[in-house]
Amino acid sequence: MSALAKDESRLLYTGMDWDFPLIQRIYGALEEIALGEMKLDPMPNQIEVITSEQMLDAYASTGMPLFYNHWSFGKHFARNEAMYRKGFQGLAYEIVINSNPCIVYIMEENTVTMQTLVMAHAGFGHNHFFKHNHVFKLWTDADGILDYLAFAKSYIAQCEERYGQAEVERLLDAAHALQSHGVHRSPRKRAPNLRTEEKRERERREHGEKLFNDLWRTVPGGGRRKGQNRSDEERRRALLGLPEENILYFLEKTAPRLLPWQREVLRIVRNIAQYFYPQRQTQVMNEGCATFTHHRIMTRLHEQGRINDGAYMEFLHSHTNVITQPSFDDPRYNGINPYALGFAMMQDIERITLDPTEEDRFWFPEIAGNRDPYETLKDVWANFRDESFLSQYLSPNIMRRFGLFLVNDDEAEEYMKVSAIHDERGYRNLRRAISRQYDLSRRDPDIHIVDVDLVGERRLELQHRVHDGVQMHEGDLGEVLQRLADLWGYEVLLKVVDAETEDVIDTHEVEPNLPFGVSA
Amino acid sequence: MHIIDRRLNPGGKSLSNRQRFIRRARAAVRNAVREASRGRGIKDMDSGGEITIPSGGVHEPTLRRSGEGGVRDYVLPGNKKYVEGDLIARPEGGAGSSGGGLDGGGEDEFRFALSDEEFLDLFLEDLELPDLAKRQIAVMGMPEWRRAGFRAYGSPANISIPRTLKNSLARRIALRRPGPADIAALQADLDALERDGASEDEIKQARLELERQTKRAVTIPYIDPLDVRYRRYESQPKPIAQAVMFCLMDVSGSMDEHMKDLAKRFYSLLYLFLKRRYEAVEIVFIRHTHLAQEVDEQTFFYSRETGGTVVSTALEEMIRIVRSRYPVNAWNIYAAQSSDGDNATSDNPRTLSLLTDTILPMVQYYAYLEVGPDHPIAPMPGLDRPSNLWRAYELIQGPKTPMSMRKVNHRRDIYPVFRELFQRQGAEAA
């Protein structure tokens, strides 16, 4: 009896209802575990309570609290709303924004247990990941994103006022179509821009004139000749930074007919695409990290007697919902669930550090039994992305648990073939294949701008390197190329090249229909 | 950590995007609304609902890998029986459905819900109504705002200065606030005392009194927030009467689907107009061949009858119903008849006499709509003879008759019938 009374006094809450002081208290308890025990290091949190309608609003603009206006967001809103109203789709419990302070939306309808779960998941899990993962560090600026979005919104609104909504909408349509190819995939050396190039050329010439000495001509030696003989074509390509895979970037910098405001709009679309690029690269890890964190924090709260059994059961109910992985033959199957895979792998890493089997010692000699799960995980969270994470840490144990198998589907064959399963022979193949599946540069078509003739016809030439014979979606391709030609202002040529044989399979030529940048 | 309560922030952030989307998909949405309105009851014409549009116009193309062809690897979970080297038949309708395989391919249709206003707006647009008429229908009956006393809070624009000053005056009197004149008098008293060389005591007292009153003039403000009063308004519904609308239609075999659809649109529009004007609108459907009967909406539009055409039976039925259920002094009666113009020649005199003697005196408005085929076969000049019923009705047309008649072959012809109705009522109001 007395033990029960003591327990009661430690409980953070009972029942379902919450209020603001309670949220504050719960947050304190979460922080104790997350910072004290797990030694996480998140950005400061800002928790915002919103209604379901506001959640729908936030959905429509890719979760961001403010975004420029475009019909496509209205379309997403209309679809989500219809699905939600009919009960086909629940709302996410939370949205978290990678900004500093990190904004976590929680919905007013949620029970107090759900609020606790959400704060642990987003406010500590995602938040820590955003702050420390290297792709986020490299590509996103958490301090500046909200200001930038505010700027983008007002800039585009101004453009609409000045140049008309229809024209801005058409430009955004075109830019959105190329958004998937508007990101830098690797950090680049600063793009050689034409003006600095010219300056450098002039300085080099002046330097040469200063040092001119006719005697040098008599010195034998042909080494220098080679550099000067670079063909015009190569030189031009080097000047323009070709080949270039970031199409929007190239258009912004080089398209001959675009007006300054149009370049700025392309830049906005491209910057926002770049901001979201890390999230696409780290889905499994990000969700794995957040799910692991909330699971650990909730379990610790229960162990400490700060939430009661009922609340813990409620938590487990939604937790297991989230990490369900239906089999491939299940009607609910919709790809590999990043929550399930991520959570399983994080837990597995913890197990390997604490209680490794012989197999683990063989596969993961560097971490097996190091008895420091949190530091190991934090190191993983900081230094990998999905592709490298899977190829490094997907253990045979997990492959067996998920029953993973690899199916090879060759168009030329009558049947698909199971080429690896979760057994001794298949582990490495499986791991390589699943890691490739999460490699964005393999998932998006491999397209480069390879040449442009700025003096003559001004034709823009692109190359699509086809891997494994998988071509692009025909209907979409035509539409996107048309928009690209309108942006470029002149003819666009796309060569489809087989990556292995270098044979040209197909070419598409598109003339601009209604080029941008020509004042009517 | 901060907690911010955003719940009170204005919602509807996506509204402008939504409008842009609907404008973008306007043509498709309008078609969808046309389809939807065909399947709806007349009374439901101004409520929103779910519609489905083809995704073509609102498709967002991207550079993406095609869903089929080539050599692909899928990693799938949940293996139960396969071992390495097994061959599997390709599933129907595109393969694998793994992360790389199926990326949002099945987007042939786009389904979403329109609000009441949006639906009505598009429905009216489809009828090609002029803007003025649209406004007259689409604007909800504004409640009338009337002055209703005062209250202690409100917006600055509504401050009632007279009432505020009145309160202020009452308060100042009650608290005996000294005015500038009182202060001046005290000052004069003090000056006089000083000048006259009164006793120290008296001067001191007068000075103290002056100080006290000056202070009170400051502490008791001229206008206190307590005094401020705002004008209060109350919304009052305008007095609204009730109306009944009779739909008469010839359902003999010569009326085809197109004609019935036109008629339905006409009735819908009339209903919408009436609904804006009257609080309660009832609809009575009367169909006739050589016999007339009152039916429900479904039967009215969708069931077929065979028989000759005798219009007077419908008029008689209408008169019977009016007499039994809708006393003329309590109801505004509207009637709309649609027909392809056939009538038994022998019936014309009876029809006319019923109309002129009984019906026209009791109705607000009687509309006759002669519906024709969508693409009438170009008749030989001179052969374009007006129909039997048309010629008969023309006899009773006059400037004072509350009746209009139109020939309608296309949706866009429907509106002019209403223009007449508007003009008449506008003239009345003027």
3-state secondary structure of A422: coil
**pLDDT category of residue B375 using cuts at 50, 70 and 90:** low
What is the arithmetic mean of pLDDT over A471-490?
A: 87
Structure tokens at A228: 């000067």
All residues of chain B having their beta carbon less than 8 Å from the beta carbon of residue A179 are 62
Q: Are residues A298 and A337 in the same domain?
A: no
CB contact under 8 A, B3 and A81: no
Chain center to CA of A348 = 24
**pLDDT category of residue B171 using cuts at 50, 70 and 90:** very high
Measured between alpha carbons, how far is A204 from A210 in angstroms, rounded to an integer?
Answer: 10
Longest dimension (CA), chain A: 105
Residue in A with minimal Cα distance to B24: A71
Q: Are residues A298 and A333 in the same domain?
A: no
The whole-number pLDDT of residue B327 equals: 80
Measured between alpha carbons, how far is B79 from A423 in angstroms, rounded to an integer?
Answer: 12
Give A13-59 pLDDT, tens digit per residue. 888 888 888 999 999 999 999 999 889 999 999 998 888 888 888 77
Task: State the CB neighbour count (10 A cutoff) for residue B55.
Answer: 17
Size of interface A-B (CB pairs under 8 A): 275
Question: What is the nearest CA distance from A335 to chain B, expressed in angstroms?
Answer: 5
**Domain spans in chain B, listed from the N-terminal domain onward:** 15-55+108-126, 156-232, 242-429
The whole-number pLDDT of residue B45 equals: 67
CB contact under 8 A, A416 and B89: yes
**pLDDT category of residue B140 using cuts at 50, 70 and 90:** very low
Chain center to CA of B206 = 74
Residue A190 in domain: no
ipTM of the assembly? 0.77
Q: Are residues A389 and A472 in the same domain?
A: no
Q: Are residues A457 and A415 in the same domain?
A: no
All residues of chain A having their beta carbon less than 8 Å from the beta carbon of residue B13 are 54, 57, 61
Measured between alpha carbons, how far is A368 from A359 in angstroms, rounded to an integer?
Answer: 10
Question: What is the nearest CA distance from B38 to chain A, expressed in angstroms?
Answer: 22
**pLDDT category of residue A313 using cuts at 50, 70 and 90:** very high
Measured between alpha carbons, how far is A375 from B266 in angstroms, rounded to an integer?
Answer: 75
Structure tokens at A138: 């490299």
The whole-number pLDDT of residue B96 equals: 42
Residue in B with minimal Cα distance to A434: B75
CB contact under 8 A, B73 and A406: yes
What is the arithmetic mean of pLDDT over A175-191?
A: 78
Q: Give the residue ranges of DSSP H helices in A93-193.
A: 112-118, 127-132, 134-139, 145-163, 165-177
Cβ-proximal residues to A516 (8 Å cutoff; 6+ apart), any chain: A170, A171, A174, A257, A258, A259, A262, A486, A487, A489
- Is a pLDDT exceeding 60 seen at residue A149? yes
- Is a pLDDT exceeding 50 seen at residue B357? yes
Give B277-286 pLDDT, tens digit per residue. 666 778 888 8
Give A68-103 pLDDT, tens digit per residue. 888 888 888 887 777 777 666 666 667 888 888 888
Measured between alpha carbons, how far is A146 from A142 in angstroms, rounded to an integer?
Answer: 8
Task: State the CB neighbour count (10 A cutoff) for residue B256.
Answer: 12
Which position has the higher pLDDT, A397 or B113? A397
Domain with A399, as residue range(s), is: 327-441
Nearest to A328 among B5, B24, B78 (CB): B78
∠ CA A56-A61-A67 to the nearest 5 degrees?
A: 130
Phi, psi of A149 (to 5 degrees): -65, -40
Inter-residue contact B18 to A53 (CB < 8 Å): no
- Is a pLDDT exceeding 90 seen at residue A346? yes
Amino acid at B390: W
The whole-number pLDDT of residue B428 equals: 42
Nearest to B64 among A71, A416, A445 (CB): A445
The whole-number pLDDT of residue B97 equals: 40
Q: How far is CA B247 from CA B283, B301, B363, B403, B411, in A?
A: 7, 11, 13, 15, 18
Domain boundary residue, one of A441, A463, A485 = A441
What is the arithmetic mean of pLDDT over B257-286?
A: 79
The whole-number pLDDT of residue B94 equals: 44
The whole-number pLDDT of residue B14 equals: 77
Amino acid at A399: M
CB contact under 8 A, B65 and A326: no
> Which of A101-110, A382-391, B179-188, B247-256 shows the lowest mean pLDDT across its residues?
B247-256
All residues of chain B having their beta carbon less than 8 Å from the beta carbon of residue A55 are none
Q: Are residues A331 and A308 in the same domain?
A: no
Among residues B28, B38, B43, B39, the alpha carbon closest in space to that of B116 is found at B43
Residue A150 in domain: no
- Is a pLDDT exceeding 80 seen at residue A354? yes
- Is a pLDDT exceeding 90 seen at residue A298? yes
Give B214-244 pLDDT, tens digit per residue. 998 888 888 888 899 999 888 766 555 677 8
CB contact under 8 A, A437 and B75: yes
The whole-number pLDDT of residue B168 equals: 93
pLDDT over 70 for what percent of chain B?
80
3-state secondary structure of B176: coil
Give B94-130 pLDDT, tens digit per residue. 444 433 333 333 445 777 777 777 777 777 776 655 5
Nearest to A468 among B70, B74, B85 (CB): B70
The whole-number pLDDT of residue B105 equals: 38
All residues of chain B having their beta carbon less than 8 Å from the beta carbon of residue A473 are 64-67
Question: What is the nearest CA distance from A107 to chain B, expressed in angstroms?
Answer: 9
Among residues A307, A299, A300, A302, the alpha carbon closest in space to that of A8 is found at A307
CB contact under 8 A, A476 and B64: yes
Dihedral of CA B165/B170/B174/B179: which sign? Answer: positive
Inter-residue contact A450 to A437 (CB < 8 Å): no
- Is a pLDDT exceeding 90 seen at residue A316? yes
The whole-number pLDDT of residue B385 equals: 67
CB contact under 8 A, B3 and A471: no
Cβ-proximal residues to A28 (8 Å cutoff; 6+ apart), any chain: none
Residue in B with minimal Cα distance to A57: B14
The whole-number pLDDT of residue B162 equals: 92
All residues of chain B having their beta carbon less than 8 Å from the beta carbon of residue A180 are 62-64
For tokens 């029960």, what's the residue? A4
Quote the mean pLDDT of chain B.
77
Q: How far is CA A122 from CA A92, A137, A182, A293, B47, in A?
A: 12, 18, 28, 9, 40
Residue A171 in domain: no
Inter-residue contact A376 to A349 (CB < 8 Å): yes
> Which of A62-66, A301-305, A339-343, A477-481 shows the lowest mean pLDDT across its residues?
A62-66
Residue in A with minimal Cα distance to B89: A415
Q: Are residues A14 and A107 in the same domain?
A: yes
> Which of A160-164, A167-171, A431-435, B17-21 shows the lowest mean pLDDT across its residues?
B17-21
**Domains of chain A: total:** 3
Q: Are residues A461 and A340 in the same domain?
A: no
CB contact under 8 A, B65 and A472: yes
Give A168-179 pLDDT, tens digit per residue. 988 999 999 998
The whole-number pLDDT of residue A194 equals: 59
Residue in B with minimal Cα distance to A407: B74
> Which of B273-282, B355-364, B371-380 shows the lowest mean pLDDT across its residues?
B371-380
3-state secondary structure of B354: helix
Q: Are residues A292 and A353 in the same domain?
A: no
The whole-number pLDDT of residue A2 equals: 43
Quote the mean pLDDT of chain A.
84
CB contact under 8 A, B84 and A423: yes
Q: Are residues A349 and A472 in the same domain?
A: no
Nearest to B64 among A326, A402, A473 (CB): A473
Residue A45 in domain: yes
* Sheet architecture: strand order including A492-498: A446-452, A460-466, A492-498, A504-510
All residues of chain B having their beta carbon less than 8 Å from the beta carbon of residue A52 are none
The whole-number pLDDT of residue B102 equals: 34
CB contact under 8 A, B99 and A476: no
Residue in B with minimal Cα distance to A109: B7
Q: Are residues A18 and A110 in the same domain?
A: yes
**pLDDT category of residue B427 using cuts at 50, 70 and 90:** very low
Residue A170 in domain: no
Q: Are residues A398 and A475 in the same domain?
A: no
Give A376-390 pLDDT, tens digit per residue. 999 999 999 899 999
CB contact under 8 A, A404 and B17: no
**pLDDT category of residue A129 using cuts at 50, 70 and 90:** very high
Residue A238 in domain: no
Please name the fold of domain B242-429: Rossmann fold (3.40.50)
> Which of A346-355, A419-428, B216-225, B419-428 shows the lowest mean pLDDT across its residues?
B419-428
- Is a pLDDT exceeding 60 seen at residue A1? no
Q: Are residues A30 and A98 in the same domain?
A: yes
Q: What is the pTM for the complete model shown? A: 0.69
Residue A38 in domain: yes
Give A432-455 pLDDT, tens digit per residue. 999 988 888 788 888 888 888 777
Residue in B with minimal Cα distance to A413: B71
Residue A53 in domain: yes
What is the arithmetic mean of pLDDT over A184-210?
A: 70
Which position has the higher pLDDT, A44 or B275? A44
All residues of chain A having their beta carbon less than 8 Å from the beta carbon of residue B2 are 45-47, 101
> Which of A57-66, A86-95, B355-364 shows the lowest mean pLDDT across its residues?
A86-95
Mutate to test the interface with B, among A43, A473, A496, A508 (most CBs of B within 10 A): A473
Which bin fits A160, alpha (ψ -120 to 50), beta or left (φ > 0)? alpha
